[in-house]
Structures are given as C-alpha cells and as structure tokens.
A and B are shown apart, each in its own frame.
Chain A
C-alpha cells in the first residue's frame, strides 16, 4: 500500500492487507459429509469462502481470520477448527 495523502486508495486495495495472518484457529473443510449447501460461503464475514468447480467450498487462507462462523453454522458438521502452529 502506497502512502497516499489522506490514505486514498483505488477499489480493491484492501486486498493488500492479508488478514489471514491474524488467524489462531484454522478451519479445515473436510468435504466428507458436505452437501454443497453453500451456507459457509453465505455466513463468512470476510467473503473469503468460494465455490470450486466440483461444487465443494474452500476458504482463502490469505484472508480467513479463523472466526469459526462457517464451522459453527455448517449443517453437515463438515468443517473442523484446529489451533494453527506457525
């Protein structure tokens, strides 16, 4: 991010801030009992869960802060949160 006067930035520049480094608990999408309902994508406050070509979902670990909402809400209990070693 450049030091622009007034901290001005073009659209999309917030992506420069890779908030994945804030994460303590990392979600693992197991794709075992998953029904591809997409609730994980809907509830993710970061908007970082995306659908793959095969219909399953994965988080973008560059931005996932590890809040755990997806794991809490997953109706198939298919997302596991585990403390991450760095």
Chain B
C-alpha cells in the first residue's frame, strides 16, 4: 500500500515486516527515529521481538551477535560515531558468519562533531566483511532490507549486511513508499534457517582461535562468500522484481549512459540530483549519464567496466575521503576500468552535509571535460 512516510519510519516498517526476533540498538542522530519506532512496535505488540536496551553501540552489536549465533533473525541500526564504536564487533560478526542486517543512516565522522550526512562512516567499514548497499530513495531503502536479509541468510553467503541511506536527506524526508503486506513479505522472505546454532544441548564455540596455519584460509573463505553474494543479490533482486515490480537485481544501474561521453558515478541520494541535472544537460545537448553503484561490497568491478565501456571520462562523486589519498569510490572505479584508457576524475563532495545542487553537477561536468579533477569540489577558499 502506498503511504507517505518519513524515511526512518518506512525503514522501521520494512524491518517489522522482516520479522526480526531480536532488535538491539543504541539511539544516535540521525538513526534515532528508526529504533524509536521499532521500540514502540515491540511495546505495542505490533512486532513480536525482544528489544534489548544497551548502554552503547558496542554492546548493541555484541548482543546482536550472540542472539544471531543462538539462531535468531537479528536487526540493528546505527550511524557515524556509533558505527565507529562497533568496529571490533563488525569484524567478529562477519568472521563468525552471522547474517545480521543493520541500517546505517549515513553521517559524517568527528572530529569536528557533525551530525549531517556524508558516507564516511560506512565507507570506513568497507573491509569488515559486511555487504554494503546504498539506497537512492526511501522506496529503495525500504526494499533493500527485504533483499539483504534474503542474501545474508543464504547458506552460500552467510554474511552480514549494511543497508546505507543518507542521514536527513532520506531518514528525515517524507516520501511516498509502497509498503508490501506481511503475507507478501512472508512469501519472499522465509523464516531464518541458521547454519550453526549455539545450543546448550549440543555445545559449540564460534570464532575459535586460528593460528597462522589457518587464519589466512578463514579470511579467504569470507572473501569467497562475499564474491558469491553478487550472484545471490542479483537472484534475490530478480525474484523481488517478479513479485513486486521494482527491480534491484543490478549491482549497478545506468541512467542515460547510452552514447554518453561523460559518466558520473555516485552512490545514495545524490543519484537523484544527478539524474535531474543530467536531464537538463541532455536537453542542452550534453552527452552525460550516470552510473549508480548500489552495492559497494561486494564491489561490482566487472559490471562497472562493462557499463562504462563506451564513455570517454568518468566523474566520481565521493561523499568520503581516504585522507592522504582520494575518495574510496573513485579509487575502486579506477581499479575497475584500469587499462581501458578511460579518464577517471575524483570529486570529493558534500562532506558533513554540504548541499549539492543541480548547478554543481553541471559545473563538475565542465571540469571533467577540461580534464580538471581529483580535487575537493566547492571548497570555500575564503575560510581556509
């Protein structure tokens, strides 16, 4: 049913439909409305789950890890400093192969303290062994929860997933969202079948100690599972499309890329602005298009290489920066198209919630055509 919902509330409703048995989270702006809504649902008996109140994000994800290992479908949500506090547990969840789904309401990392949106938080956890999807709008943020639970719990994958959507730009914005019914989601997402379960009658340890003789093979196995997740994601996306008519089977998605000379690459809500700017530039005769990256982990290198094969140059819009290097997305796109002769220019943009307008996208198209890139876009020189 189509409803006008705040992004956070749409996500909370999606999570409810996934029937998590345990929810544990610590409130932090701009994630708060999601977990507030879930806590109310549990209190009002709209969601039959254990809601574990904790004193920190470290404890939130730790209790999720234990609950998942004990055989429950588990959910959490966080952002920014909260995710940073989960750093150690994130690696443990992936290493113990627990299919936890966690929403990231993307926000900048301090210091300086900043509650607004960029994608530095989840990007900084890219090596943790969690799948990462980035939603362009609240419908996609909603639907990605159904799909990622399916992929995460697939016994060929068994990896946790972060569903990332931009803080405020999406979390606090009201949009029409088509919410499936419980019956529809039950048909798409069957009950969780754990691979291993902690059971006092059949004792077992998880995440055992591995010496140098074994550790590297364990890491290799996680990496292979992550690569298998690409197929699982495409498969779940196709099934979802068949049932609901919205297609997320592509790990990347092109927009007006045919005959484009300049391609933008972006993730998340920025894609909407870029699409509008592209429509205006196309009307003026400029050959521009967009490649939206939906899953940053697993990284769709082959799909990117194929999608960008016809363009002359790529302008990557990075809402993050690997300090001392470039933006993470640009670096990985460069790797994907290495040897093709395509120029890849990086633009660090919108850090800490700075607004991006259609005119900015047009300006960047001009910079890329002139070969000017690998820079922070829109720096206020007067305050430096």
Contact = CB atoms under 8 A, between A and B. Distances in A.
Contacts of A7: 95-96, 206-208, 210, 218
Contacts of B98: 6
A6 B160 CA distance: 12
A8 B196 contact: yes
A8 B205 contact: yes
A9 B205 CA distance: 5
Interface residues of A, number: 13
Interface stretch (A10-18, A57-65, A69-77): A10-18
Contact of A6 (B195, B203, B209, B217): B195
A6 B158 contact: yes
B136 to A, nearest CB: 33
A21 to B, nearest CB: 10
A17 B211 CA distance: 8
Contacts of A3: 214, 217-218, 221
A75 B249 CA distance: 70
A76 to B, nearest CB: 34
A6 B207 contact: yes
A6 B211 contact: no
Contacts of B158: 5-6
Interface residues of B, number: 20
Interface string B97-111: 110000000000000
Contact of A10 (B204, B207, B221): B204
Contacts of B218: 3, 7
A4 B217 CA distance: 11
Contacts of B203: 10-11
A17 B209 contact: yes
Contacts of A4: 196
A1 B196 contact: no
Contacts of A5: 97, 158, 195-196, 221
Contacts of B207: 6-7
B195 A1 contact: no
A9 B218 CA distance: 13
Contacts of A8: 196, 204-206, 208
Contact of A1 (B95, B206, B214, B221): B214
A5 B207 CA distance: 9
Interface in B143-173: 158
A6 B210 contact: no
Given A6-B97, A6-B98, A13 B205 contact: yes
B204 A1 contact: no
A46 B214 CA distance: 22
A4 B211 CA distance: 14
Interface string B187-214: 0000000011000000111111111001
Interface of B: 95-98, 158, 195-196, 203-211, 214, 217-218, 221
A-B pairs, top 5 by smallest CB distance, nearest first, are A6-B97, A6-B96, A9-B208, A7-B208, A8-B196
